Amino acid sequence: MKKIQMVDLKSQYEKIKTIVDASIQEVLDTNTYINGPLVHQFQKNLEDYLGAKHVIPCANGTDALQIAMMGLDLKPGDEVITADFTFAATVEVIALLQLTPVLVDVDITNMNIDIEAIKKAITPKTKAIVPVHLFGRAANMDAIMEIAAEHNLYVIEDNAQAIGADYISKSGVKNKVGVIGHVAATSFFPSKNLGCYGDGGAIFTNDDKLAHVIRGIVNHGMYERYHHDVVGVNSRLDSIQAGVLNAKLPLLDEYNEARRLAATKYNAAFAGNAHIITPEFDANENDHVFHQYVLRIIDADRNALMQHLLDKGIPCAIYYPIPLHSQKAYVDSRYKEEQFPVTNQLVKEVIALPMHTELDDEQIKFITDSVLEFLNK
């Protein structure tokens, strides 16, 4: 059996080596390292794929979130609501901009931001909501956009984990996640569903005026060289990474389908086990693209299971072991433990198994057999 990886980028690269190597060589031959033709080509290709009017590439996903908020001209003290159960980058940029993060609980069934918790958290200072499409599953954007419209709020989609996922609205309209809110941010970190070979990110929006502002922000506030019209940052996607992403983008749907197929096999193997709650998804829809495959372990020792898997050479991880409201950097007297019952439960139960495009049946069987061996003993 091939060695099991949490993410097997080497095997994935071997299948696209020729086109990736040619793209990198093109950059080396033309010396177009920053904002070269491959960056513009990737921008256009991703706009076409997403159905977005504007894609603005940048240096990484965290920058993408920060720049999106800067483009909306949020002011210090403005409140931004987001999920307590997610990676710290989401709240990090809120704090960096001297905005006020408002953390709320998540839904037990899908681990995405809880709609009723959003409603309870809104105050006169609230200016934006940041739903995170966690682990690759679309948040409830119908409800979120309705709340935003009612209270005149911006919606900033954190799409770092769900690029390529579809969201079917209650009216039957299908959109890619990331083009539903006012603006969205994504990451092209190597392990993402669409990942480069370094850091990279992008901002999406259908708002022409906002796109113009953001294009200035990513490039030191310049629209014309040495003319600084807005306060900006230095955050640009380099041409080599754009070349890698151009090679992978035509395969993104295939990659996501491979992830869903692996998740289907995992779920089938674990079906009926009293100690396991598997992720819910519709195998016929593209609403979950499984950036991570995350189980909940019930009435069993999750940490001991993790060690059991590691001892067998099976990589696994806990996303996320500490709620954001309990992190030293974000502790705040406004938060009470009773506000976060679901998050506090999930951090004790979740475990992520290997999930990537190269998983084969032999590996999946070994992983699932090993999990069941521990839980059934």
Whose CA is closest to 94, among 118, 62, 55? 62
**Which residue(s) pair with 80 in the sheet?**
101, 128
Q: Residue 312, class by beta-carbon neighbours within 10 Å (0-12 exposed, 13-18 middle, 19+ buried)? A: middle
Total Cβ atoms within 10 A of residue 358:
19
Enter the tokens of residue 253.
């749907």
- The kind and range of the H/E element at 129 are strand 126-130
Radius of gyration of the chain from Cα atoms? 21
Residue of 257, 274, 254, 269 whose CA lies nearest to 363: 269
* Cα distances (angstroms) measured from residue 278 to each of 199, 263, 315, 319: 31, 9, 18, 15
Distances from the Cα of 347 to the Cα of 72, 95, 326, 343, 344, angstroms:
33, 23, 11, 6, 6
Which tokens go with 260?
A: 């869903």
The H-assigned helical ranges of 294-375 are: 302-311, 341-349, 361-375
The secondary structure of residue 171, as a DSSP letter, is: T
Question: Which residues have CB under 8 Å from 251's CB, separation 6+?
Answer: 16
* Helix runs in 113-203, H state only: 115-121, 141-151
CB neighbourhood size of 15 (10 A): 12
Mind telling me the catalytic residues? 192
Residues 81, 121 contacting (CB under 8 angstroms): yes
